Amino acid sequence: MELRATVENRIRYSTKHIKHLPPGSITEFDWKDYCPVGFGLIQELEGIDHDDYLLSICTDETLKKISSGKIGNVFHISNDNRFLIKILRKSEIKVTLEMLPRYYRHINYHRSSLFTRIFGAHSVKPLGGVKTYFAVMSNMLHSTIFVNKLYDLKGSPKGRSNKKIEVRNTTVLKDIDFDFCFYVDPLARQRIIKQTKLDCELLEEEGIMDYSLLVGLQSKGSCQGSFDGLNPVYGSFAPPSSFKSNSTKSMKTASSSPDRSSVAMYSCSPDRVTSNSASSETNILATTLSDLFHNSSNINFGMKIPARARRVTRETGEEEWYNVVLYIGIVDTFQDYGMKKRIEHCYKSIQYNSNSISTVHPKIYSSRFQDFVSNIFLPHDDDLSSKY
């Protein structure tokens, strides 16, 4: 079968579900798998069983949600919480399929890619109804993960809608709401910035823009409630420079290994990130950093990154410090710089600086996005120890 071949099927609600539907309800759907061979390779690469995948996304409830959904910022989560489903335009499906061969080669070679994995592209159409296109991706924020804050960041607040969406009852905030910067281990920062560059280069070459960095913040030890309701640590812990532990030396050899090697990012639980003493904290960080470069589990790079977050409150200009665990990934890689986006660029350029808006040429977008990531993950030569 050719890599780009499409498979069509007819599916229907389960008998149990049909019994509870009003008479005359549509119970059958035309279903299309786009490039099932290509996406099957990605599923295999990430350890996803194809039969389990279909069982997850072809449930009665999911079919009902998708077939009645709207295009745009509409997310659904599979019943088992493993997959995130986003409704797309036909043009966005086309972009995804055109990128598929290079996308697969990229994530196969660069196992530490920050891309959320795309496991499938499909369409579903109730008999006599309207066709809906959608993509199925890895769910960064599984139900077992609680985050205090969730941000969708493009690197520029200009011209972005303030409309909020929710994923699993968590409001997704945007650049205009973002007031943090992070300090992680120097080797972790190096890998984040390097991998962002590699991922952005692929998107730039494919003519894709308007993607985002999804950032989830989990405050150390928190299980519920609001991030704003938690107390900042201030001077209770060692300053950010304490990340420069002896663990950095021991990991240099591992960090220079090829990207093709399987790399997992921090498998420690949040309560292991910090301790009341600097010495025990250093030992804990050494353990988690060892996990970063040697753990062979299926945790993707970008998951569970211990960090210290600095927050500058807009109202007072005061700094607050938090010990956090980060979940990061590059999402929404579906939009090319086509005619619609060019027109949008012209319109928004009248209101704002043409290079400051989110809708810009892929080359400019890539460069700005990389600068943004470098500016929120700060190096330790930023002298902040005076705060302590």
Q: pLDDT tens digits for 312-346?
A: 877 777 888 999 999 999 999 999 886 666 566 56
Can you tell me the mean pLDDT for 111-126? 94
pLDDT at 135: 96
pLDDT at 340: 65
Can you tell me the mean pLDDT for 33-40? 94
Can you tell me the mean pLDDT for 155-174? 71
Task: For residue 264, give both structure tokens.
Answer: 């997992």
Higher pLDDT, 262 or 90: 90
Amino acid making up residue 143? S
**In the chain, where does the domain assigned CATH 3.30.800.10 lie?**
1-139
Amino acid making up residue 272? R
Looking at every residue in the chain, the average pLDDT score rounds to 75
Task: For residue 287, give both structure tokens.
Answer: 């353990």
Can you tell me the mean pLDDT for 380-386? 55
Dump pLDDT digits (tens) for 355-376: 566 678 899 999 999 999 999 9
pLDDT at 322: 92
Contact 306, 266 (CB under 8 A): yes
**In the chain, where does the domain assigned CATH 3.30.810.10 lie?**
141-222+298-383
How far apart are alpha carbons 113 and 120 in whole angstroms?
18
Local confidence band at 388 (pLDDT 50, 70, 90 cut-offs): very low
pLDDT at 224: 42
pLDDT at 69: 62
- Percent of the chain whose pLDDT exceeds 90: 39
How many Cβ atoms are within 10 Å of 193's Cβ, its own excluded?
A: 14
Mean pLDDT is lowest, of 13-17, 115-119, 205-209, for 13-17
pLDDT at 170: 74
CATH 3.30.810.10 fits 141-222+298-383, yes or no: yes
Mean pLDDT is lowest, of 155-159, 183-187, 225-229, 278-282, for 278-282
Higher pLDDT, 256 or 357: 357
Mean pLDDT is lowest, of 194-198, 237-241, 334-338, for 237-241
Dump pLDDT digits (tens) for 75-115: 788 888 899 999 999 999 999 999 999 999 999 999 999 99
Can you tell me the mean pLDDT for 11-30? 64
Convert the chain into a string of H (helix), E (strand) and C (coil). Answer: CCCCCEEEEEEECCHHHHCCCCCCCCCEEEEEEECHHHHHHHHHHCCCCHHHHHHHHCCHHHHHHHHCCCCCCCEEECCCCCEEEEEECHHHHHHHHHHHHHHHHHHHHCCCCCECCEEEEEEEEECCCCCEEEEEEECCCCCCCCCCEEEEECCCCECCCCCCEEECCEEEEEHHHCCEEEECCHHHHHHHHHHHHHHHHHHHHCCEECCEEEEEEEECCCCCCCHHHCCCCHHHCCCHHHHCCCHHHHHHHHHCCCCCCCCCCCCCCHHHCCCCCHHHHHHHHHHHHHHHHHCCCCCCCCCCEEEEEEEECCCCCCEEEEEEEEEEEEECCCEECCHHHHHHHHHHHHHCCCCCECCCCHHHHHHHHHHHHHHHECCCCCCCHHHC
* pTM of the predicted model as reported, rounded to 2 decimal places: 0.78
Can you tell me the mean pLDDT for 269-286? 38
Collect all residues with Cβ–Cβ distance below 8 Å to 210 and sequence separation of at least 6. 154, 332, 335, 341, 358, 359, 365
pLDDT at 348: 64
Contact 223, 263 (CB under 8 A): no
pLDDT of 199 higher than 70: yes
How far is C-alpha 207 from the geometric centre of its chain's CA atoms?
A: 20
The superfamily in CATH containing domain 1-139 is: Phosphatidylinositol Phosphate Kinase II Beta (3.30.800.10)
Mean pLDDT is lowest, of 11-20, 290-299, 372-381, for 290-299
Nearest-10 crossing angle of helices 186-205, 90-109: 130
pLDDT at 235: 37
Return the bridge partners of 88, or none. Answer: 133
Can you tell me the mean pLDDT for 271-276? 34
pLDDT at 290: 47
How far apart are alpha carbons 27 and 30 in whole angstroms?
11
Q: Of the segments 124-128, 300-304, 364-368, which one has the largest average pLDDT value?
A: 364-368
